[in-house]
Chains A and B, each alone.
Chain A
Amino acid sequence: DTAVSQTPKYLVTQMGNDKSIKCEQNLGHDTMYWYKQDSKKFLKIMFSYNNKELIINETVPNRFSPKSPDKAHLNLHINSLELGDSAVYFCASSRRQDLSGNTIYFGEGSWLTVV
């Protein structure tokens, strides 16, 4: 069974378009995240939500808007896509917000290419 699933896996779109990536976790976790991985494999947190409440927003441009309809889902909507948005976006979840001794589980990633 897929624990953290995100769709689509691949997305190619033109500059200026608006796109969404969806994420669902079936682990019963309280906390969900979006991470961005660039071409050099550097992983950086973008957002985290705990029980549908925004906890972390790491100075991500306003064009990125996460939405959590319930604690099992965290979607990422991106407006006016730019070339620099091309990256792999990973959804993740953890049992609770406090990560001391608490593992984060990642989805398989969504490869976004902006042309």
Chain B
Amino acid sequence: GESVGLHLPTLSVQEGDNSIINCAYSNSASDYFIWYKQESGKGPQFIIDIRSNMDKRQGQRVTVLLNKTVKHLSLQIAATQPGDSAVYFCAEPSGGYNKLIFGAGTRLAVHP
């Protein structure tokens, strides 16, 4: 998922496979990133975050990787389940950390 896009990219995976959702950012000074999950008909929900002094952070079945050299962020979901089907957004604070700017989002479709 790029930070700017004209349409919503979709990632289709088989249940049980691992999923990798990508995000690019442009500001090399960015130092905090968040991943949100938005299920159909609901608001975005916080999944995991990472500060720029880390390269990797793990949660339950999710891992976020940060590559500051190429300004790239990824969310890895292990053993993807049907309940993981949603739109995933990367986000970062901006405007003096007063507002959250969201990427364009990636739709994850999990097939049985």
Q: Which A residues have a C-beta under 8 Å from some C-beta of B? A: 4, 33, 40-45, 48, 55-56, 58, 90, 92, 97-101, 103-109
Contact = CB atoms under 8 A, between A and B. Distances in A.
A90 B95 contact: no
Interface string B14-43: 000000000000000001101000100111
> For chain B, which range describes its interface: under 10, 10 to 19, 20 to 34, or 35 or more residues?
20 to 34
Given A100-B93, A101-B51, 19 more contacts: A40-B6, A40-B8, A41-B87, A41-B104, A41-B107, A42-B102, A43-B89, A43-B105, A45-B100, A48-B98, A58-B99, A92-B43, A99-B97, A99-B99, A99-B100, A103-B49, A105-B46, A106-B45, A109-B42
A45 B89 contact: no
Interface of B: 6-8, 31-32, 34, 38, 41-46, 49, 51, 87, 89, 93, 95, 97-102, 104-105, 107
Contact of A40 (B7, B89, B98): B7
